[in-house]
Structure 1
């Protein structure tokens, strides 16, 4: 990937199945996640994973991103309109190919992250939105990332590759 993109919107959910709450900025903590989010290591209330305090944190749960272009495309192609944050991802991006960041280091605002794996859509997302969203977001459901260096992430910040 060359070039950079920007952060459109930033979201956290305080608990599993809670509505995503839009933020102007959020604190990213290396190895723990986004402060105030359901997957932050001190909270541990995500829908799909729980770990004990003495257990090593699972990779790929610090931060999730989705391309705004993908959200727009499923509305155009499949007639599926998602309300802000309904996609259950923490960061909406613009002008960045997230699939190309798997295995790569990149900067998100002030934080440094590494793309862990694609964030494919799941049945939970389809249950809380509408039929067809699972198929519409296959291979464009976003990216799971690990936070390597702390920093603030704000709407409008740059996303840029480091490798």
Structure 2
């Protein structure tokens, strides 16, 4: 598996904003992120959000990002637009739902699809929400923390 991009955001732009305008909190690209088992990513909006939260970290497929950019947006689009923490290639994210897996020395449990919401049509382009159904990414719990960096890693089921 290749980790292409790592992101954190200190606060919510869409979550909890139903019926209100989107927030304007930045998505910050990082060279490395610190993961704490059971809590999440240090500095991210979901760190210690609630006990055993299923979305302590989110993963997104780089190929899906490219498809949205090329087929829906048809122009410039940063991978950060999806507000997922880790953009990867080389693994089937949906197959990790309900699985324990390891990326390098870090360990996770895939909890659910990171289902797209109507905000994706605003963040990217109209039609993005529908396009992402079944391809929205992976929510996971962190079961063994440490530091995650970009680069190539072995993806291993535990």
> Do they superpose with TM above 0.5?
yes
Alignment of 1:39-50 (within 5 A): 39-41=46-48, 44=49
Contact kept in structure 2, 1:59 and 1:116, CA below 8 Å: no
Alignment of 1:73-84 (within 5 A): 73-80=67-74, 81-84=76-79
Gaps of 5+ in 2: 14-24
**Shift, 1:159, TM fit:** 4.9
Q: TM-score, normalised to structure 2's length?
A: 0.84
Q: Does 1:124 align with 2:119?
A: yes
After TM superposition, which residue ranges in structure 1, 4 or more long, deviate above 3 angstroms?
A: none
Q: Relative to structure 2, which stretch is displaced further, 150-159 or 111-120?
A: 150-159
Deviation by residue 1:3-27 (Cα, 9 ceiling, x = unmatched): xx12111000011122210000011
**Shift, 1:161, TM fit:** 2.3
Residue 47 of structure 1: aligned partner? none
**Shift, 1:126, TM fit:** 2.4
- In structure 2, relative to structure 1, the CA distance for the partners of 1:159 and 1:117 (3 Å cut) is farther
Contact kept in structure 2, 1:88 and 1:125, CA below 8 Å: no
Q: TM-score, normalised to structure 1's length?
A: 0.82
Distance 1:7 1:24 in 2: 11
Q: Relative to structure 2, which stretch is displaced further, 32-41 or 127-136?
A: 127-136
RMSD of aligned alpha carbons = 1.7
Residue 48 of structure 1: aligned partner? none
Aligned pair count reads 146
